[in-house]
Amino acid sequence: MKPFKKLLVPTDFSAPSNAAVQIAAELSRRYEASMTIINVYEPTTYMVPDGFQFYTQAQLESILAEFAKALIGAKREAESAGALNVTTQQLEGIPSAQIVEFARIGDYDLIVMGTHGRKGFEHALIGSVAEKVVRSAPCPVLSVRAR
């Protein structure tokens, strides 16, 4: 088996995502692979009356600043767990599509991502980003559930 050299770790800062960061950090250390942690902000796309905003510009900037801080925290966690050459990036769009496209363009060897393990009605209602990524990813995907 070819060793992994580029790992992509999408995060939504949940417990499963944090577990995925830890596992990816171990793989990074073991294979001396670089690691990129990304977060995808999905803008609200509901039909609203003309001129109505869900967030003011200041609120949106505050939300994105919190994501940036959380990405820095995830990077520190990965580095303290032994990950090498960790970078982060904030993206915007539909999470599954952005993850797959980022992996394709970046020529990543492995995507390591958390999954919430939803079932039944909750899965049907919310869907699964991890499941969508598995179906269309250009490389293997390791899905991780929090304990």
Read off the pLDDT of residues 41-63 as tens digits, 9 standing for 90 and up.
987 655 566 655 666 778 888 88
DSSP result, 100-140: HHHHHHHT-SEEEEE-----HHHHHHH--HHHHHHHH-SS-
Neighbours of 89 (CB within 10 A): 13
Q: List all residues 6 or more positions away from 61 whose beta carbon is below 8 Å from its beta carbon.
A: none
Average pLDDT over residues 8-29: 95
* Domain CATH code at residue 100: 3.40.50.620
Asked whether the predicted pLDDT for residue 98 surpasses 80, the reply is: yes
Rg (CA), the chain: 16
pLDDT at 147 (0 to 100): 72
130 found inside a domain: yes
pLDDT at 24: 97
Whether 34 is covered by a domain: the verdict is yes
Q: Identify whether 91 is part of a domain.
A: yes
**Residue 36 domain-assigned (yes or no):** yes
Q: In angstroms, rounded to a whole number, what is the distance separating the alpha carbons of residues 7 and 65?
A: 24
Structure tokens at 25: 């950090």
- Specify if 109 maps to a domain: yes
Residue 55 is given by DSSP the state S
List the domain range (segments joined by +) for residue 127: 6-144
Question: Is 35 inside any structural domain?
Answer: yes
What does the block give as tokens for 50? 């003309």
CA distances from 111 to 14, 55, 115 (A): 17, 31, 12
pTM metric for this prediction: 0.86
Q: Is 26 inside a domain boundary? A: yes
